[in-house]
Structure 1
Amino acid sequence: MNENDQSESPSSQRPPRQTRKGLTSTGARKAASKSTRSRSREFALQALYQYILSGNSATEIDLFTRELAGFHKADAAHYDALLHGCIENAEQLNAQITPHLDRKMDELSPIEHACMWIGVYEFQHCLDVPWRVVINESIELAKEFGGTDGYKYVNAVLNALAPTLRATEVTADRNNAA
């Protein structure tokens, strides 16, 4: 027996990794732990991504998306509001996002762009969703579907918009935290 056989390898000395509940091996949230609203955001993101890239009609994209596996587990009304609301208000949403960008709108990743649309739309039209939840859900979408650090950009833009779009709520939260 040689001396290499007697020592343990460094990896065998580490404790086993603990699995994180509610996440897949890639760190994405497991489908079972997602709310119907979270699922609706995912399907809306996929549909908006398709819209941004293809320019197909909202109706075509909607019909395609509703046929995807798992759509029946989503909040269809929230999905409809996000998809159609973002497409109908695209110019206005872009006008609000643009001042907070460090690049041209057409240089944004389509995933980041769609996540920002969803966030801004929910800030304005889904007042039952707390502002921090809007940001968190948009960040989670960007983490799950976007590039490595895209979620940081989405976070920065939405955090910059929150005090304007949800002024009362943000101020109250910040005063309570102080």
Structure 2
Amino acid sequence: MGSRRKGRIIAFQALYGWDATNNPIDSVLAFDWVDGKRDAEAYDDTIGFARLITAGTIENIDAVDDAIKARLKHWDFSRLSRVDLAILRMSVYCLLYQTDIPRSVTIDEAIDIAKEFGGDGSYKFVNGVLDGVGKAEIV
């Protein structure tokens, strides 16, 4: 697994925890709970990428959530599972603000994370929402 994939998983987990606990951003960005300091350079790259996504998502949470809400069809935002919401938030942040990352990469990574951590149909739901956000951003 590459360092960017690990970084996305760590960012997803951090956003999930932030949503569940509402801890201050500094506490979330400390990543005290992450194990992997054996390879310092790879660890720094991975945590740096996770920190970028996590901080950016939290700092732009209103715009990110608005983009998600605009793409929900027949679904209430408050009913989203925390897992799906964390995946969507980090991915929508990347689609809106990390334009150096190809949209297809962001969406594919989100689908893979949803398959690993989400419910049975999570990856389809995540794909649909992100596809809508991605297409809206192209226009």
**SS of 2:9 mapped into structure 1:** helix
Quote how far apart the aligned CAs of 1:91 are: 1.0
Task: Report the TM-score when normalising by structure 2.
Answer: 0.87
Check if 1:62 corresponds to 2:33: no
- Identity among equivalent positions (%) equals 29
The separation in 2 between residues aligned to 1:66 and 1:81, in whole angstroms, is 16
Quote how far apart the aligned CAs of 1:73 are: 6.9
The separation in 2 between residues aligned to 1:166 and 1:41, in whole angstroms, is 23
Structure 2: gaps (5+ residues): 38-42
Contact 1:39 1:73 in 2 (8 A): no
Task: Report the TM-score when normalising by structure 1.
Answer: 0.69
Check if 1:158 corresponds to 2:130: yes
2:4 corresponds in structure 1 to: 37
Contact 1:123 1:166 in 2 (8 A): no
Q: Which runs of 4+ in 1 moved over 4 A?
A: none
Structure 1: gaps (5+ residues): 1-33, 168-178
**SS of 1:75 mapped into structure 2:** helix
Letter in 2 for 1:91: D
The separation in 2 between residues aligned to 1:88 and 1:73, in whole angstroms, is 22
Check if 1:84 corresponds to 2:50: no
Check if 1:132 corresponds to 2:120: no
- Structure with bigger gyration radius: 1
Contact 1:40 1:75 in 2 (8 A): yes
2:40 corresponds in structure 1 to: none
The separation in 2 between residues aligned to 1:144 and 1:78, in whole angstroms, is 20
Letter in 1 for 2:51: D
Give the paired residue count.
Answer: 133
1:4 corresponds in structure 2 to: none
